[in-house]
């Protein structure tokens, strides 16, 4: 006795211990609660529930004829934990061909691998007075980027310059375009 069942696109097969083959890899459940969680999903489909009732009816002394769906599902969960019945996951069901009769090779292909994560880098500079440690606002710096281009950026009220979306590599301060009284004393 082997019965085919489905949960969404997932195909399962239910069978008794006596019908187990040497290559079968049945699902294992640590307890009846875990088994009940899965068979509860089966019970949501009328066709699957009818199949489960047939299995119960074919098993002597299983559940009374007028048992509720919940009683049948509880009975099945206990039998799965005791390994009196087995459930094998056969994988995903293939999509049906389109009604227009398109050949499977004509269907658009989708790549199951996610696109690579684009790595972006950033750099922040803080310009501060060497003696007082106070930020120095409104100073324009020339900054050499990892691609060897040089850009000019002006410090904000906190003496900060932030540049985002850079390629990997290093940046350097090439000089200042104003405030000639200032000099770079230390780069951290």
Helix H, strand E, coil C: the string for 111-154 is CCCCCCCCCCEEEEEECECCCCCCECCCCEEEEECCCCCEEEEE
Query: Which of the two residues, 91 and 140, has the higher pLDDT score?
Result: 140
For 48-65, write each residue's pLDDT tens digit.
788 888 887 777 767 777
**Cα distance between residue 76 and residue 56, in whole Å:** 8
Nearest to 86 by CA among 21, 144, 177, 181: 21
List, in order, residues 6 or more apart from 19 with CB less than 8 Å away. Answer: 1, 2
**Cα distance between residue 144 and residue 171, in whole Å:** 5
Dihedral of CA 125/129/134/135: which sign?
negative
CB 27 within 8 A of CB 15: no
* pLDDT confidence of residue 106: 44
* pLDDT confidence of residue 185: 61
Judge whether residue 133 has pLDDT over 50: yes
For 2-17, write each residue's pLDDT tens digit.
888 777 777 888 888 7
CB 173 within 8 A of CB 143: yes
All structural domains of the chain with their residue ranges: 2-92, 121-176
Neighbours of 177 (CB within 10 A): 12
- Per-residue tokens: 28: 């294992």
Average model confidence (pLDDT) for the chain?
Answer: 76
Query: Which of the two residues, 43 and 124, has the higher pLDDT score?
Result: 124
CB 165 within 8 A of CB 146: no
Q: Residue 66: how many CA atoms within 13 Å on its side-chain side? A: 0
Q: Read off the pTM.
A: 0.45
């Amino acid at each position: 006795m082997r019965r085919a069942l489905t949960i969404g696109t997932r195909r399962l097969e239910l069978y008794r211990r006596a019908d187990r083959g040497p290559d079968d890899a049945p699902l294992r459940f640590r307890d009846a609660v875990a088994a009940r969680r899965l068979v509860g999903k089966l019970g949501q489909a009328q066709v699957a529930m009818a199949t489960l009732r047939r299995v119960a009816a074919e098993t002597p002394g299983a559940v009374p004829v007028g048992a509720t769906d919940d009683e049948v599902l509880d009975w099945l969960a206990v039998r799965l934990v005791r390994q009196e019945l087995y459930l094998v996951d056969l994988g995903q069901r293939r999509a049906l061909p389109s009604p227009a009769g398109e050949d499977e090779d004509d269907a658009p292909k989708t790549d199951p691998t996610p696109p690579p994560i684009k790595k972006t880098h950033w750099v922040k500079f803080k310009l501060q007075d060497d003696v007082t440690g106070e930020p120095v606002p409104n100073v324009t710096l020339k900054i050499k980027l990892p691609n060897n281009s040089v850009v000019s950026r002006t410090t904000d009220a906190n003496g900060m310059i932030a540049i985002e979306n850079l390629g990997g590599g290093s940046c350097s301060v090439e000089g200042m375009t104003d405030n000639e009284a200032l000099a770079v004393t230390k780069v951290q």
